[in-house]
């Protein structure tokens, strides 16, 4: 079983982003300040979804690849706490199967609302579109668990500041056009203030003195988020415009929220701007790693289909060679060319699988190096180091096994004698 350690990221992100507080204005008393929660990362890769190449016929690896490829979308399905009944853990199981009747996806979870279940099913079906069951084969089935930690979900009603942060976070999937400039790279963090001005105050802003001696905004919502890197300037400008269009309101004359948008991109690079908080760097690496793992399973699924096709060729050849019918034995001679082509295709598929694993291992090595560096300064990163080392070790074993199988397959390929 390949390792999963994304459950750690929520804790690491909170450790990085916690502690912000918000209050009425610059002069608000400490008792009026509120801790800002709902600092939930958003994978902009879900804005630009891609379907894994799983081949056309299902095998024992197809569903594993599809589920892993759907994980970013599944995580987003579970972002809003409203998808789960109050008091229930966000935990369940997805059962996927492909047979002669088509693709079936069912969910079992205590308290998961229909909207959440439908969202998860849609994400998985998107990866399995165009995949059919093997002719005359048994149904392909997989049970896959899903879980979302309560502190990694957006929960409204905590306090006014957290509700503002939560409303912005839940709106991000509708602002995908804002992230076009960074769709292929690791996105920068966006942070800054969001100021809510009461409607009656905004209307007469030019006549209302601000408590800090400044000016009162004439807009109900004023967003001033800035990107942590120049590459995100255009993104920040677009997001600010979208925030200012949200129907956010406050009972206070003026309410200032220190907002922070933690952006990831599973389709981007692992290299983030130099000033990115370590926890966010690690989270970006993990997002990319999960996609690389899904791509490795997809390569394995394609390889298995090629192997199945080649096995069928070998069986047909052996049947012809061992036939008592002289005409059938004669046809075996003409099968050798196809056998050579089938075996060459298998060796190529072996290489593609190995390459996909090596791509995954490269990210895992980066994550391990980062965790080791951070652990030297903070022992709390020990668990991340351990998980990263375990994931890398597992993948390296898979690489070695894949290379050995490739060597054996190439050695066994038929050779014509002259």
Q: What is the pLDDT of residue 29?
A: 39
| Sequence-ordered list of residues with C-beta below 8 angstroms from that of 378, at least 6 positions apart, any chain | none
Residue 95, classified by CB atoms within 10 Å of its CB into exposed (0-12), middle (13-18) or buried (19+), is middle
- Res 82 pLDDT > 70: yes
Per residue in 31-60, pLDDT (tens digit) is 346 788 999 999 999 999 999 999 999 999
What pLDDT sits at residue 317? 86
Percent of the chain with pLDDT over 70: 87
Q: What is the pLDDT, as a whole number, of residue 8?
A: 45
Residues 301-346 pLDDT 10s: 999 999 999 999 999 888 888 878 887 788 888 888 899 999 999 9
| Residue that wins the pLDDT comparison between 9 and 155 | 155
CB 72 within 8 A of CB 293: no
- Output the CA–CA distances (angstroms, integers) from residue 10 to 15, 41, 203, 378, 383, in the order listed: 9, 9, 41, 17, 13
Res. 143: pLDDT tops 70:
yes
pLDDT above 90: percentage of residues in the chain: 69
Instruction: Supply the pLDDT for residue 417.
Output: 60
Mean pLDDT for 62-85 is 95
pLDDT at 15: 46
In the chain, where the domains are located: 278-412
Q: What is the pLDDT of residues 256-307, one digit of tens each?
A: 999 999 999 999 999 888 788 899 999 999 999 999 999 999 999 999 999 9
pLDDT attached to residue 330:
81
Provide the pLDDT for residue 146: 93
pLDDT digits (tens, 9 = 90+) for 191-238: 999 999 988 776 766 555 666 556 666 789 999 999 999 989 999 999
Quick: pLDDT tens for 346-380.
999 999 999 999 999 999 999 999 999 999 999 99
pLDDT value at residue 326:
80
Q: What angle do CA 31, 34, 36 make, to 5 degrees?
A: 160
DSSP string, 375-413: HTT-GGGHHHHHHHHHHHHHHHHHHHHHHHHHHHHHHHS
Prediction pTM value:
0.88
Closest by Cα among 317, 315, 312 to 328: 317
């Amino acid at each position: 079983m390949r390792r999963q350690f994304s459950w750690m990221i929520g804790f690491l992100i909170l450790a990085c982003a916690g502690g912000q507080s918000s209050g009425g204005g610059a002069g608000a008393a400490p008792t009026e300040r509120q801790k800002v929660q709902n600092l939930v990362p958003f994978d902009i890769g879900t804005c630009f979804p891609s379907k894994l190449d799983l081949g056309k016929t299902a095998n024992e690896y197809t569903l594993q690849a599809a589920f892993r490829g759907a994980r970013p979308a599944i995580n987003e399905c579970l972002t809003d706490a409203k998808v789960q009944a109050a008091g229930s853990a966000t935990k369940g199981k997805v059962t996927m199967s492909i047979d002669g009747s088509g693709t079936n996806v069912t969910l079992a979870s205590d308290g998961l609302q229909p909207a959440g279940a439908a969202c998860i099913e849609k994400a998985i079906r998107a990866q399995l579109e165009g995949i059919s069951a093997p002719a005359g084969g048994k149904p392909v089935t997989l049970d896959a668990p899903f879980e979302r930690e309560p502190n990694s979900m957006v929960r409204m009603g905590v306090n006014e500041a957290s509700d503002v942060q939560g409303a912005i976070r839940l709106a991000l999937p509708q602002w995908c056009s804002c992230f076009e400039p960074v769709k292929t790279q690791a996105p920068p963090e966006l942070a800054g203030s969001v100021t809510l001005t009461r409607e009656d105050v905004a209307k007469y802003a030019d006549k209302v003195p601000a408590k800090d001696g400044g000016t009162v905004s004439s807009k109900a919502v004023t967003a001033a988020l800035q990107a942590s890197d120049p590459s995100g300037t255009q993104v920040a400008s677009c997001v600010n415009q979208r925030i200012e269009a949200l129907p956010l309101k406050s009972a206070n004359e003026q309410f200032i929220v220190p907002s922070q948008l933690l952006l990831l991109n599973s389709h981007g690079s692992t290299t983030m701007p130099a000033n990115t908080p370590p926890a966010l760097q690690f989270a970006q690496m993990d997002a990319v790693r999960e996609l690389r793992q899904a791509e490795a399973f997809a390569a394995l699924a394609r390889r298995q289909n090629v192997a199945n096709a080649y096995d069928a060729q070998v069986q047909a050849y052996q049947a012809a060679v061992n036939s008592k019918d002289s005409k059938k034995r004669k046809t075996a001679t003409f099968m050798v060319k196809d056998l050579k082509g089938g075996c060459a295709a298998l060796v190529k598929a072996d290489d593609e699988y190995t390459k996909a694993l090596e791509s995954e291992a490269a990210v895992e090595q980066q994550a391990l190096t980062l965790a080791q560096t951070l652990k030297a300064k903070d022992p709390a990163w020990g668990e991340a180091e351990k998980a990263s080392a375990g994931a890398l070790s597992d993948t390296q074993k898979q690489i070695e096994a894949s290379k050995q199988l490739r060597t054996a397959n190439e050695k066994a390929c038929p050779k014509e004698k002259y």
